[in-house]
Amino acid sequence: MKASYREIEEETGYKENEIKNFTLKYILIEESHGELRQQYVYFGETAHSNFIPSDEGELYWIHKSELLNLNISKAIRFTIQHYLANPDQTNICVGAVTADESEVSLIQWSTVKPTSSF
């Protein structure tokens, strides 16, 4: 989590103590051009409304109803759709991006729950 906080501060200027309820919500797995990619998607809250200038591009807030209008990867689009349909989900969800017989991308979701196997 420390690396995530450092990245957030580097790109937004928000310090760790300015982010509340910071939790891992999604782990995404996708193969693209022979490379296996993993993405960790965290959610958090802040009272801030301004960002520092960033080399990554312009940062700005948008309403969640506009999220699916963005030019985003299929994995992130599937994740946003899942979150909007399941806003009260408390467990970590793992999504594996795959394709059906017609080569149409889809995602298979699984929920991580505590076990007693060890």
107-116 pLDDT, tens digit per residue, is 999 999 988 8
State residue 56's pLDDT score: 76
- Top mean pLDDT of 23-27, 59-63, 102-106 is at 23-27
CATH superfamily label, 2-112:
Nucleoside Triphosphate Pyrophosphohydrolase (3.90.79.10)
Contacts of 52 (CB under 8 A, 6+ apart): 12, 13
pTM of the predicted structure, to 2 decimals: 0.85
Between residues 59 and 27, which one has the greater pLDDT? 27
- Per-residue pLDDT band for 117 (boundaries 50, 70, 90) equals confident
Which of 25, 31, 44, 39 has its CA nearest to residue 93? 25
Report the C-alpha gap between 82 and 103 in whole angstroms: 21
Q: Cα–Cα–Cα angle for 86, 31, 6, nearest 5°? A: 65
Q: Which pair of structure tokens corresponds to residue 40?
A: 């960790």
DSSP annotation of 86? -
61-102 pLDDT, tens digit per residue, is 899 899 999 999 999 999 999 999 999 999 999 999 998 889
In the block, tokens 């060890």 appear at: 118
**Strands 20-32, 35-45: pairing kind:** antiparallel
Report the C-alpha gap between 36 and 23 in whole angstroms: 24
State residue 116's pLDDT score: 81
31-60 pLDDT, tens digit per residue, is 988 999 999 999 999 998 888 887 778 888
Q: Is the pLDDT of residue 118 over 80?
A: no
